[in-house]
Structure 1
Amino acid sequence: MASHPMIIDTHIHLWRTKDISTLAWETPESPLFGTYDIPRYLKSIASTPSSYSGFVFVETDRKYTDPKDPSEDLKCWEHVLEEYRFVLGLSREPEWKGLVRGIVPWAPVHLGREAMERYQKLLDAVDAEIYGGEKHELLVGFRYLLQDKPQGTASLPKFVEGLEYIRDTGRTFDVGVDCNRHTLWQLEEAVPVLKRVKGLKIVLNHLSKPPLGREPEGGIARWRELMTELGETQAAVKLSGGFSEIPPTLAKDGDEFPEQKMISMVLDYARPLFQIFGASRIIFGSDWPVCGIGYENVMGEQTGAWPEWFKICTAVRKQLKEEGGVKGEPEDWDGIWGKNALSVYNLKPQ
């Protein structure tokens, strides 16, 4: 039996018990209230093929405020800086050696270039604290969620400045929009801005968070037009986040997860994205532990979400490869699991 291609999970979140109060969305009522650390993650992926080769950590929406002047930077950004310190520290622990392949922290993109430069100096100070003078190459991009921001945020001049700064560093910009709980206005605002910043490396999170099982408000044709426009940039798309968009009507089939129904719903959106971006610009991610929420709504527990999503992604990839109509060499299709992420995020090879 042929070995599985290299696997890099390009989208996971981690936090400790002491971090809970610093998460902007966490409450005691949340299904994710608790500690989600590396041991818990590794337990969730225990059935993964031996070709598993680590993960990319993505910021977890820590609390922050906007400083009125540079003297307030440390206070306003203390929680996001602590998150970076925490994950960078994990990469130094012998027990987890090689697991942390990249880190995508939050950044004050909306405050412009000058604020981004100040923020980078604070990240550099954390680097010096954890790594001394050693270069680690783990800071591979920045993320800023548009899905919970006011209309007009992405088109502000300062936001464009922030994107231009990211481009000039050669790092990626992870963008989060939500086409399920909102209309298409976030994409309609963001896509022209992302196209405007020539040379920016973009990663679209979670297939754009589409409303699985139905069309987005604004229509699937308009959604596809926007995705086609985004495809004209240097954007990649994460095959991730599907369980968060499960319709409330989806119920388990006996004692099993309704895998075929889920595959069909994901294909409705993955198919046009594969056709637009090609296999070389698709990367696998789990969105752990958030993937457990929708899965738990169906199955009554979070356990099993990671391997089930992996199975669904395997079936989606197989179906689309067999159908044809998607650009990509065999290595690009295999690269969806990990190798494509090496170039998308400029990850250091092992």
Structure 2
Amino acid sequence: MASHPTVIDSHIHLWRTQDISTLAWETPENPLFGTYDLSRYLKCISPAPSGYSGFVFVETDRKYTDPKDPSEDLKCWEHVLEEYRFVLGLSRTPDGRDLVKGIVPWAPVHLGRGVMQRYQQLLNGVDQEIYGEEKHGLLVGYRYLIQDKPQGTISHPKFLEGLEYIRDMGRTFDLGVDCNRHTLWQIEEAVPVLKQVEGLKIVLNHLSKPPLGREPDGGIVRWRELMTELGETRAVVKLSGGFSEIPPTLANEGAEFPKQTMINMALEYARPLFQIFGAGRVIFGSDWPVCGVGYEKVTGEQEGAWRQWFEISDAVVKILKDEGGIKGIAEDWDGVWGNNALAAYNIQP
């Protein structure tokens, strides 16, 4: 694997066997049915690339309901609080102590400032359980997925309140939209709202989940216009999630994954995003273990997905750097692999 000064995987998910029933999307038929814990992740990335230093954990869409009043908070948010407790606990174990760089839990952004404050108090209680009076700095942002929500979710006034609370707390909002399966309406709704929250740090997941190998419904020109508008905010973009958007027509070439085809498809969206945001506002992430699903559809197995996506990402970055015309000094380009993520999430090196 290529050598880089610092490598931070900015987007992974983890869950234990006892967590499976609490995942909102998990069924026995799902290709990710099973246990995806830290030991399995470390096995999948081994041998890790030179400079690998750890990861940012992102919430896994646990089951929850919206409380009608504060007395219901603990019951409604039981599973998302347990997820935070689990990952925070990993940061105190010998295997996880140096690897857990940041945690982005689910949060009830859609319910407004007051409910966000109540939720944060419960997260503070978990901090007390795991760390006592010691300050850890691992809670770096929040995520509330837009990609599976109805129209009008992010444009609701309460959502704006929630975003303002995140901004005021000095944390990031991870934006999860899907421009592949849901046309462009999600990002069209999101961009004007996000622009209203001046100073909010935004992390766009998975290149916006574009439909690799074709234009999005609504057109690539409109998609680029929306990305340009998002670039006027403090947003950064994750170079992640590509395997989830593999078109069904992509076929295995003999015994090898069609790497060059995948590189070319990823470049169609990565190139304009690098041009809009600059190298200093792009961060590498794997989306493990979700990256294994699309990879499995082509190869029949999941285990090589992390390494393959790292190599594809490395090739994409090298091509774009060599092409020129993209804003960024040498430190920005090196930072794609780690330091840009540390800056985006306010993580101390």
- TM bucket, shorter chain: over 0.9
CA distance in structure 2 between the partners assigned to 1:324 and 1:2 by the alignment: 21
Percent identity between matched residues is 79
What do the CA deviations read for 1:216-241 (whole angstroms, capped 9, x no partner)? Answer: 00000000000000000000000000
1:203 is matched with which residue? 203
Question: 1:2: Cα distance to partner?
Answer: 9.4
2:35 partner letter: T
Deviation at 1:96, TM superposition (A): 2.1
Q: Distance in 1 between matches of 2:254 and 2:2?
A: 33
Between 87-96 and 218-227, the greater mean CA deviation after superposition:
87-96
Partner-residue secondary structure (3-state), 2:301: coil
In 1: Cα distance, 2:272 partner to 2:118 partner: 40
Supply the AA of the counterpart residue of 2:181. R
Give the aligned partner of residue 57 of structure 2. 57
Residue 112 of structure 1 is matched in structure 2 by 112
Aligned CA distance change for structure 1 residues 229 and 15 (closer, same or farther; 3 Å): same
Give distance in 2, aligned partners of 1:12 and 1:283.
Answer: 13
Alignment length (residue pairs): 349
Normalization by structure 2: what TM-score? Answer: 0.99
Which residue does the alignment assign to 2:312? 312
How many angstroms does 1:3 deviate by? 4.7
Residue aligning to 1:41: 41
Match of residue 98 from structure 1: 98
Gaps of 5+ in 2: none
Decide whether the 8 Å contact of 2:5 with 2:50 is kept in 1: no
Partner of residue 128, structure 1: 128
- 1:281 is matched with which residue? 281
State the shift of 1:94 in Å.
1.8
Shift of residue 325, structure 1, vs aligned partner = 1.2
Letter in 2 for 1:119: Y
Q: Structure 1 regions of 5+ residues with no counterpart?
A: none
Q: Which amino acid aligns with 1:321?
A: K
CA deviation after TM superposition for structure 1 residue 95, in Å: 2.6
1:170 — aligned with what? Answer: 170
Query: Residue 149 of structure 1 aligns to a residue in which SS?
Result: coil
Cross-structure match for 2:9: 9
CA distance in 2, matches of 1:74, 1:241: 32
Task: Give the equivalent residue in structure 2 for 1:343.
Answer: 343
Offset from partner CA, 1:240-288 (integer Å, 9 cap, x none): 0000000001011100000000000000000000000000000000000
Report matched runs for 1:162-241 at 5 Å.
162-241=162-241
Match of 1:68 in 2: 68
Cα deviation, residue 124, structure 1: 0.1
SS state at 1:95 partner: coil
Residue identity matched to 1:201 = K
**CA distance in 2: counterparts of 1:109 and 1:96, whole angstroms:** 28
Amino acid at match of 1:25: W
- Equivalents in 2 of 1:324, 1:51: separation in Å? 25
Letter in 1 for 2:80: V
Are 1:87 and 2:66 counterparts?
no
CA distance in 2, matches of 1:2, 1:317: 12
